[in-house]
A and B are shown apart, each in its own frame.
Chain A
Amino acid sequence: MVKTTHPRKIIIEPVTRVEGHGKVTILLDEHRKVQQARLHIVEFRGFERFIQGRPYWEVPVLVQRLCGICPVSHHLAAAKAMDLIAGVDQLPPTAEKMRRLMHYGQMFQSHALHFFHLVSPDLLFGFDADPAIRNVIGVARQFPHLAVQGVMMRKYGQELIKATAGKKIHGTGAIPGGINKNLSIAERDEFLKDLDQMLKWSRESVALAKEYTVTHLKELVDFGSFESNHFGLVRKDGAMDLYHGNLRAITADGQKIFDQVDYQTYADYLAEEVKPWSYMKFPFIQSLGPDRGWYRVGPLARINTCDFIDTPEAEGARQELMALTQGKPNNITMAYHWARMIELLHSIEKIKDLLHDPDLQGVELRAQGRTRRSHAVGMIEAPRGTLIHDYEVNEQDQVTRCNLIVSTTHNNTPMNRAVEKVARDFLSGTEVTEGLLNRIEVAIRAYDPCLSCATHAMGRMPLTVEIQDAQGIRVHRRTRGVDPDV
């Protein structure tokens, strides 16, 4: 039974940052029913402050240190903003295509990492499986071909990043107005050798995610699911474009809230709400207000917002996913995994096209700037969703203001909704079981948030679950990694 000894208020210590630290609190009413559940992310990085004064051409390299998982996204979003600061509106074809190759390589490795290393144990062994088995080592033991496939796909994407940015993590490829290298014939030929294998594995990954979703549809359709708006970048013709596009937001049933908005004006359409219990802001669509304007980003949102995908195999896969909901937006949280694998296939198709494009061997790497700007926004579709970098730079080339809205921040309200729904549906009494703990993780994990708790340490994330009674008194607390039985 739950003991009520040593009741005290929750204390959030902003010592550490996002990665590795998430906390869920669950509020119970007097009948011990779930009243509220929250995911707390103690995110305090300080980047927006300490890049002030730094020269603008340094920012794409500096700010990518926000993340060790998808630094390319920050590198490119910052570079896109600094292109405009430097007065460059149009990159040379070689520069843009090298950046795209870097980005698709990043998307490929990140999605492979998430699906095979972090999520597959839940899908292959079940949510309630013994955590001693439900981990990546368990996958390697029982499904060695999948483990190898995940490693090799990730390696392929990382090598693409190295070939375009100089290093697999935290490279320097994109510079304001262009790129610092092209792709040699020898580098290209190395990638072409393994391309067919990567395409085959990507098709199989889509099939695996689809089969899992369809087979378990009855269980998944309601698991942490809810209706929401969806937001992302789309190309002018409505196609999915992970590198560049205009803003589109749709409602849960597919009505357009806004469309083809120049992202330089994003602040006219989005706003951020601050809540006292989290360091992470809560973005929302201004015209709908904070209560109705929250939205989802990431693979499922991108599949929902785009009209089509411009690579044939991924487009076929997209149509199959959309058929599940008769062409209407899909609001099933666990469908994120299927959508993510469709993007994986799309990325390798794009990589194939780029590797066959002679522009990658071009020698015009930089464009000369014309009219400098003092304020610019760079936006990109990162693996986890839309990433916004917003900078002001003074006449002496120093950054004076910076606002970063990262993918995980957009998904803040949705992740909280998912956590609350799972808690309501599965919490019986006040005893926190391993199954509940893992179901909460599964719901968070569907969004692939950039928290170490949901990414780095599968099955061992230092997640703390607290249960409070109606007076806010903590009645139960379990912390994975601290309590030996959790």
Chain B
Amino acid sequence: MSETFDFTLDGATVTAQSGETIMQAADRAGIYIPRLCAHKELHPFGACRICTVLVNGRPQSSCTQPAAPGIVVENDTEALRNVRKSLVEMLFVEGNHYCMFCEKSGLCELQALGYRFGLLAPRYPYQFPKREMDASHPDIFVDRNRCVQCARCVRASRELDHKTVFEFSGRGAHKAIAVNADARLADTDVNGTDRAIDVCPVGCLLRKRYGFRTPIGQRKYDHQPIGSDIEAGHPPAAVNG
């Protein structure tokens, strides 16, 4: 049986198990910390920084930071909400995200975060980058316009599919998702059923010919904001009590 200890999250006492990250402990306690690159089936990566919390006053990504006894964590504060909103805004302007005709609309985690944070229009100028699409694979469509560089596909291909289909190339502003072939996805060993496709939080990796099958009103985020499942499944009161 693993060792447990307590720490404070927004004034509430949260019990963590040894080896857990702050995010994992918060999830079990029914407290939602917003995130984009984190995925429960994948090793944490700390790419997007949306899950940033203050640990004893210092900013840390809660998906990678281990919980520790007695730490004081701030999560749902106005200052942090503003930081997270800014990060989402920057992701929106850095790519070409056209929710109005994207088949991931209503299912997209980036869009859902935008709604959760009340994002009406980004404060930053749109970059309108020129990004390539890759339609070469018979069952998978890659639209790099919508990539947020969360690296979920990179990790899932390795950790879940036991392949190395996706990787990043370039640095800084030139960083982009690449495939393990000279040019085309069709030349890799990716398969239409690979988990790497499922975990994409946005409309970058798509299964061909499936779009728009879920009617408006029945999509994951049509009625409940992102994070509601965590909040509903584990009410904080139960932990505090």
Contacts of A166 in B (CB 8 A): 215-217
> A453 CB to closest chain B CB, in angstroms?
24
In the complex, are the beta carbons of B133 and A172 less than 8 A apart? no
Given contacts A60-B212, A165-B216, 8 further A-B contacts (CB under 8 A): A57-B210, A58-B211, A61-B212, A65-B100, A166-B215, A171-B216, A172-B212, A398-B133
Q: A58-B101, A172-B216 are in contact. Are A396 and B211 (CB under 8 A)?
A: no
In the complex, are the beta carbons of B101 and A180 less than 8 A apart? no
In the complex, are the beta carbons of B212 and A397 less than 8 A apart? no
Q: Which residues of B contact A (CB under 8 A)?
A: 100-101, 103, 133, 135-136, 141, 206, 208-218
In the complex, are the beta carbons of B212 and A396 less than 8 A apart? no
> B102 CB to closest chain A CB, in angstroms?
8
In the complex, are the beta carbons of B212 and A55 less than 8 A apart? no
In the complex, are the beta carbons of A397 and B135 less than 8 A apart? yes
In the complex, are the beta carbons of A62 and B101 less than 8 A apart? yes
- Tell me the A34-81 residues at the B interface (CB within 8 Å): 53, 55, 57-58, 60-62, 65
> B203 CB to closest chain A CB, in angstroms?
10
Q: A61-B101, A62-B101, A397-B209 are in contact. Are A180 and B215 (CB under 8 A)?
A: yes
Chain A: which residue is nearest B98 at the CB level?
A62
Contacts of B209 in A (CB 8 A): 57, 86, 176, 397
Chain B: which residue is nearest A366 at the CB level?
B213
Contacts of A396 in B (CB 8 A): 135-136
Q: Which of A60, A61, A173, A397 contacts B208 (CB 8 A)?
A: A397
Interchain pairs with CB closer than 8 A, number: 54
> B100 CB to closest chain A CB, in angstroms?
6
Count how many chain A residues have C-beta atoms less than 8 Å from C-beta atoms of the other chain: 23
In the complex, are the beta carbons of B212 and A53 less than 8 A apart? no
Q: Is A356 in the interface zone, CB < 8 Å from B?
A: no
In the complex, are the beta carbons of A53 and B133 less than 8 A apart? yes
Chain B: which residue is nearest A179 at the CB level?
B215
Q: Is A170 in the interface zone, CB < 8 Å from B?
A: yes
Q: Is A478 in the interface zone, CB < 8 Å from B?
A: no
In the complex, are the beta carbons of A55 and B101 less than 8 A apart? no
Q: Is A345 in the interface zone, CB < 8 Å from B?
A: no
Chain A: which residue is nearest B213 at the CB level?
A180
> B36 CB to closest chain A CB, in angstroms?
23
In the complex, are the beta carbons of B101 and A175 less than 8 A apart? no
Contacts of B206 in A (CB 8 A): 55
Q: Is A216 in the interface zone, CB < 8 Å from B?
A: no
Contacts of A176 in B (CB 8 A): 209
A248–B212 alpha-carbon span in the complex (Å): 34
Chain A: which residue is nearest B135 at the CB level?
A396
Can you name 21 A-B residue pairings with CB atoms under 8 Å? A55-B206, A55-B208, A57-B103, A57-B208, A57-B209, A57-B210, A57-B212, A58-B103, A58-B212, A61-B101, A61-B103, A61-B212, A65-B101, A166-B215, A166-B217, A172-B215, A172-B216, A176-B209, A180-B213, A396-B135, A397-B135
Contacts of B213 in A (CB 8 A): 175, 180
A146–B135 alpha-carbon span in the complex (Å): 53
Contacts of A65 in B (CB 8 A): 100-101
A287–B140 alpha-carbon span in the complex (Å): 45
Chain B: which residue is nearest A174 at the CB level?
B212
